[in-house]
Amino acid sequence: MALSMTAFARIDRTTDWGDIVWELRTVNHRYLELSPRLPEVLRVLEPKIRDAANKVLTRGKVDLNLRFQPGAVSSEEVELDLGLIKKLVVAANQVTSIAKNSQPLNVSDLLHWPGVIKESKLDNDALQKKVLEILSEALAELVQTRRREGDKLKLMMLERVQAMKKTALGVAEIMPEILQNFRQRLNERLQEIIAEVDTDRVEQELVIYAQKIDVAEELDRLQVHLDEVARVLEQEKPIGRRLDFLMQELNREANTLGSKATDIRLTNAAVDMKVLIEQMREQVQNLE
């Protein structure tokens, strides 16, 4: 299964405790690197967040950003610190009795005094459970995004595989013609040097040349590697590292093919293959 390492997911939920927003962003990386960014009140969840991400991701640099905005306290939930209010009233009366011209303490002043309205206590266990539930949704969305992007990369790579197979087939088809052309050139050259062509000499030179430019093994190995790329792309497990190795093997065979080229068509075929391999290699870097 081809999964891209480049993806984004965002889940926004309004809960009984406030607004919870998860934003997950991944880019390619050789290993799995998790970077959670959490509000202080929920930092205790970091180990569980890492465990949840590790269960569904194997490679990539992953930013896990959590934002939590506590909800406003409704009128039914307002709780006053009556003891503090009484102390403030007593203190205000004492000030008024001493400073006759001072303004009396009003209700608005009391309600805005720090601590008079008690903050509603968070149910931490329930909040943490909800945060992890929403994280699971975000991770599922992230994986789906990675799969969609991976399917596009897979299609692109299979197209390159077919293009390389077509190029390799073309090389195999023109090899007899290349050998025949060499036979003709060799005969012409020998006729310029000696009056009577030594047939054995021609055949000997032809055998040496044929061995020198023989690319049958390279074409066979290219075919095997290309079939393996197609097979790996269908696997239901991380495939990036395996494909990276196969790109190296394909590049090695293309280089050998180019080094044996004695015909411009072989040179062009080797260059075309290397271009296709490089295109695939760039995309492999984004696959998990």
CATH class of 7-73+124-147: alpha beta
Q: Model confidence over 79-110: pLDDT tens digits? A: 777 888 888 888 878 777 787 677 777 787 77
Tokens read off for 268: 């062009």
Distance CA 15, CA 3 (A): 32
Tell me the pLDDT band of 178, cut-offs 50, 70 and 90: confident
- Delimit the domains of the chain by residue range: 7-73+124-147, 77-118, 150-284
CB neighbour class for 257 (10 Å; exposed up to 12, middle 13-18, buried from 19): buried
Predicted TM-score (pTM) of this structure = 0.67
Angle at 158 between CA 152 and CA 160, to 5 degrees: 105
- pLDDT, residue 95, reads 75
Residue whose C-alpha is closest to residue 16's, from 91, 72, 79, 96: 72
Under 8 Å CB-to-CB from 54, ≥6 apart: which residues?
Answer: 32, 34
Q: Model confidence over 179-225: pLDDT tens digits? A: 777 777 766 766 665 555 556 665 666 666 656 667 778 888 999 99
Per the CB < 8 A criterion, the answer to whether 67 and 21 are in contact is yes
Segment 230-235 mean pLDDT: 92
